[in-house]
Amino acid sequence: MIYLDTDYMAGAHPEVMEALNRTNMFHTPGYGDDKFTRRTRSLILEACDLENGGCQFMVGGTQTNATVIDRLLSRNDGVLAADSSHINVHEAGAIEAWGHKILTLEHTEGKISASQIREYIENFYADDTFEHMVRPGMVYLSYPTEFGTIYSKEELSEIYKVCGDFNIPLYIDGARLAYGLNAKDNDLGLKEISRLCDVFYIGGTKCGTLFGEAIVTKNPELLPRFTSLMKLHGGLLAKGRLLGVQFEALFTDSLYDKIGKYGVDMALRLKDMLLEKGYRQFIDSPTNQQFFILPNPVIERIKKEVSFELWGAPGSDESKVRFVTSWSTPADTIDKLSSIF
């Protein structure tokens, strides 16, 4: 069976696993106050060119989004986000559960624009009844988006400028960051992203670890008393060093980049193969998620040998599907797929 459902179907990258095995019997203090985690914080902040920044670790993406957004917003603030965003669609209401409204903007291939954000905020303040409405208190982006697309440096710079104009923070969900940084035609590096937002997270779960996300901020004062808040959110891992150890492996010998590059290469080879065979995309993604429209008989035929997700409800003749590659996609996958299609 070939697995292309999601990017979190295998365990950890062997080098990450090796680090966990190597350190397994050590005794260290809990909750992230250990030498591994401290060392990894420095490693990450250095890679981000944020020596005076802050770095915290949590277990999963929804937890991270809920905790960071909860910290950045006041009680009577909402978060601006694409209507297609993960927080709006696929987090079971975790943001609202903490009391915050998601103020949605219509997405274009998963993205929102600086002008949409500006218009929303200007309209808000222009409305006589704004005190009866939820104030836009921050902006949430995903990079890459839920549709595999990425923002350009220019687009991100413009968005960050709008946030600055209205003095609200910009937060980037980097669940698949490795695949974005290594996307075709990407012009944003880790250092640029670090500079062009207030808080973001470096995804581990989908990019090589068993679990874990590294939250990075240029300004630690934006996330005060964050350990206590993680505890309150049920997201402070007892054996916190597991996060430090895994991310240390990711940031050693450019493993994070290798993972991203490999996943994207597999995805682009898959895309080329399918295009060559005459199948149509419904979104052209430069990252590890690929979106195609397939005739239903093709779907029926291949799904005996390939595992993948329908994207939304099936159509009568053809349906939308998503294929996801990752660091764990076996090297011969595309060749095998080519013979199946």
Interaction residues for its own copies, span 59-88 (CB under 8 A): 59-64, 66-67, 70-71, 74-76, 78
Write down the least CB distance from residue 295 to its own copies, Å: 20
Please select the residue that binds its own copies; options are 38, 98, 279, 298, rule is CB under 8 A: 98
CA angle 113, 289, 149 (to 5 degrees): 15
CB 201 within 8 A of CB 21: no
Residues 191-210: x where in contact with its own copies by CB under 8 A, - otherwise, as a string: --------------xx---x
Write down the least CB distance from residue 208 to its own copies, Å: 12
Count of residues that bind its own copies according to CB under 8 A: 83
* C-alpha separations of 26 from 207, 209, 241 in Å: 25, 20, 10
CB 263 within 8 A of CB 325: yes
| Cα distance between residue 92 and residue 78, in whole Å | 17
CB 161 within 8 A of CB 114: yes
Radius of gyration of the chain (CA): 20
Please select the residue that binds its own copies; options are 43, 133, 275, 302, rule is CB under 8 A: 133
Write down the least CB distance from residue 52 to its own copies, Å: 22
Write down the least CB distance from residue 288 to its own copies, Å: 15
Q: Does 119 bind its own copies (CB under 8 A)?
A: no
Q: Does 167 bind its own copies (CB under 8 A)?
A: no
Q: Which stretch binds its own copies (CB under 8 A): 25-33, 39-47, 149-157, 290-298?
A: 25-33
Q: What sign results for the dihedral spanned by CA atoms 74, 99, 172, 68? A: positive
Write down the least CB distance from residue 296 to its own copies, Å: 16
Site for its own copies in 218-257 (CB under 8 A): 225, 227-229, 231-239, 242
Write down the least CB distance from residue 211 to its own copies, Å: 6
* C-alpha separations of 176 from 44, 45, 86, 116, 221 in Å: 16, 19, 12, 24, 26
> Which residue lies nearer to its own copies by CB, 92 or 185?
92
> Which residue lies nearer to its own copies by CB, 142 or 205?
205
The pair of structure tokens assigned to 253 is 């010998």
Query: Angle at which helices 153-165 and 114-126 pack, to 10 degrees?
Result: 20
Please select the residue that binds its own copies; options are 15, 20, 118, 153, rule is CB under 8 A: 20
Write down the least CB distance from residue 134 to its own copies, Å: 4
The pair of structure tokens assigned to 272 is 């080329």
Secondary structure (3-state) at 271: helix
β-pair partners for 309: 322
Residues 41-60: x where in contact with its own copies by CB under 8 A, - otherwise, as a string: ------------------xx
Secondary structure (3-state) at 136: strand
Q: Which stretch binds its own copies (CB under 8 A): 264-272, 280-288, 292-300, 306-314?
A: 306-314
Reading across the β-sheet that carries 309-310, which strands appear in turn? Answer: 280-283, 289-295, 318-324, 309-310
